[in-house]
Amino acid sequence: MNPFKLDHLKALNKTAFSILFIASIMIALVGCSGSSSDNGATATQNQTETAANDSNTGGKGSKKDITLEFQQWWGVELPDGVLQQIVDGFTAQTGVKIKLLSNPYADTKTQIAAGAAAGTMADVVGLDGSWVYDFAKHESIANLTDLMKADGYDDSQLSDQIRVDGNTYMIPVVNFAYPMYVNLDIVKEAGVESIPKTWSEFKEATKKISTSTGKAGWAIPLSTESPSGIQNNFMSWLWASGGSMLKDGKPALTNNADLGATVAFVKGLFDSGVVAKGSNSMKEADMVGEFTNGRVAFMTDSLAHLTLIKKEAPQLNFDIIPVPVKDGFAGKSGMDVANWGIGIAENSKYKAEAMKFVEYLMSPEVNAKLAVYANAFPGNSKAEPDYSAADPLFLKAYDIYKTCYAVNEFTGLPTSEELMRSFDEQLQLYLGGDTSSATDMLAETQNIWQDAFK
């Protein structure tokens, strides 16, 4: 054979190979991009036109190829397999498959925010009340009022709905109350005779604890990485005493006697040295760790941690009490609540199916089951959770919850987390002595907050 021709043939083979290789890479890339753009937010790709067209008919067979992505942090916090078992019930009923994307809370938030920015949010998303306003304003999450109306859903059974501009964007599935935990052994060791019910009693008790036991009277996590300590551990004092940080939905931090008194009270606790050290970088988990290790007498924390504390420290002798109120306050207390909320991505192709899934989770039976497993209170007012096997402390907290009204004024506010963070920073400046008075601190925070409401 002519060697020249052989060279040509080899070159052609190489060329053909490279073309083939590139073509395969391109196909893979196109395939990947197709799945991420279609999906991310939406369902799987293998559904047929028929299935898509029939998706509203409710026929089980017509939806067998639809898979909804459900991104949340709940799966991590629930006992193993519970969430999968619950969503499998939906698949059995409707034929629509649910793909769980479970990650810790912080990761979920970042992923949902990134999905919102890129338009690739999962079909159904777990939401925190503090994220709702921004996602709704960005049109990343769907208007549930319209979807409920289109499906003829009776929303009167929902205990709450988080609205933006009059439309619902998030439904709280379960609520977590934030009562106060007290370490009874520390209290006893310090010789505190009765559990404090007012601020002055609390101040006195924590001072006694701090001086006689060397342990911290109270803990507050003020890390700016996750500034929810402002909502759960600071504002809970204000709300328990019937106060508010808003007026007509707008910041009302100045000329607010209740809030001023709360700031002064917390500053007093810091000044008297009863607060656990390291609060400026402390996160909620650190605070729970301090309490579990018997180094803190009082903390305000979610009931969701009750099981964890009992598991980590079975010998810990603790109780649950209402958050003490301002001296002289005799009204009904507000109890801070956090939610596992749910919403639907605006970019979902299967909003109708996603709404059905939300309705399923909010149905009295399923909602009650979720509430029991999550150590929480149901989002459906008709749900009747079977708490018979629940911890007595949980039942006590439930009784306290029933005497209070649920409140969380940060829910549905614009850049809610950033509002907490700026309050946190101003509070730290005041506690550190950089700001001369509570009035100045609140005035500065009010200025920052008002920018977010423009």
The contact pattern for other proteins, residues 377-416, with x = CB under 8 A and - = no contact, is: --------------------------------------x-
Q: Return the number of the residue (41 or 276) whose C-beta is nearest other proteins.
A: 276
The contact pattern for other proteins, residues 418-437, with x = CB under 8 A and - = no contact, is: x--x--xx--xx--x-----
Q: Give the position of tokens 């958050």.
A: 323
Handedness of CA 83, 385, 362, 77 (dihedral sign): negative
Among positions 15, 35, 45, 53, the unique one binding other proteins when judged by CB under 8 A: 15
Contact 123, 350 (CB under 8 A): yes
Q: Return the number of the residue (85 or 281) whose C-beta is nearest other proteins.
A: 281
Shortest reach from residue 421's CB to other proteins, in Å: 7
Residues for the chain: how many in total? 454
- 88-147: which residues touch other proteins (CB under 8 A)? 109-110, 113-114, 116-117, 134, 137-139
Shortest reach from residue 356's CB to other proteins, in Å: 29
Shortest reach from residue 288's CB to other proteins, in Å: 14
Q: Return the number of the residue (350 or 430) whose C-beta is nearest other proteins.
A: 430
Q: How far apart are CA 253 and CA 433, in angstroms?
A: 20
Shortest reach from residue 279's CB to other proteins, in Å: 6
- The footprint of other proteins on this chain (CB under 8 A) covers a number of residues equal to 45
- Say which amino acid occupies 80: D
Q: Return the number of the residue (200 or 428) whose C-beta is nearest other proteins.
A: 428
Q: Helical H runs in 278-363?
A: 284-292, 306-312, 351-362
Q: How far apart are CA 280 and CA 230, in angstroms?
A: 12
Closest CA to 327 of 451, 237, 198, 420: 198
- 258-297: which residues touch other proteins (CB under 8 A)? 276-282, 286, 295
Residue 307 engages other proteins in binding (rule: CB under 8 A): no
Structure tokens at 344: 């639907």
Shortest reach from residue 135's CB to other proteins, in Å: 9
Shortest reach from residue 269's CB to other proteins, in Å: 16
Structure tokens at 98: 């649910």
Shortest reach from residue 246's CB to other proteins, in Å: 20
Q: Return the number of the residue (110 or 167) whose C-beta is nearest other proteins.
A: 110
- 200-229: which residues touch other proteins (CB under 8 A)? 222-226
Shortest reach from residue 9's CB to other proteins, in Å: 11
For every residue of 48-66, DSSP letters joined together read -HHHHHTTTT--TGGGTT-
Q: Return the number of the residue (83 or 441) whose C-beta is nearest other proteins.
A: 441
Q: Give the position of tokens 């060397």.
A: 214
Q: Return the number of the residue (33 or 48) whose C-beta is nearest other proteins.
A: 33
Tell how far CA 162 is from the center of its chain. 13
Q: How far apart are CA 70 and CA 183, in angstroms?
A: 38
- 16-35: which residues touch other proteins (CB under 8 A)? 18-19, 21-22, 25-26, 29
Which three-class secondary structure state does DSSP give residue 153?
coil
- Relative to beta strand 97-102, strand 67-72 is parallel
Q: Return the number of the residue (113 or 308) whose C-beta is nearest other proteins.
A: 113
- Relative to beta strand 405-407, strand 162-164 is unpaired
- Relative to beta strand 216-218, strand 296-300 is parallel
Q: How far apart are CA 128 and CA 305, in angstroms?
A: 17
CA angle 102, 108, 109 (to 5 degrees): 160
Q: What Rg, from alpha-carbon coordinates, does the chain have?
A: 26
Shortest reach from residue 281's CB to other proteins, in Å: 4
Structure tokens at 270: 């810091």
Handedness of CA 230, 233, 237, 243 (dihedral sign): positive
Q: Return the number of the residue (222 or 372) whose C-beta is nearest other proteins.
A: 222
Shortest reach from residue 251's CB to other proteins, in Å: 16
Footprint of other proteins on this chain (CB under 8 A)? 8, 11-12, 14-15, 18-19, 21-22, 25-26, 29, 109-110, 113-114, 116-117, 134, 137-139, 222-226, 276-282, 286, 295, 415, 417-418, 421, 424-425, 428-429, 432
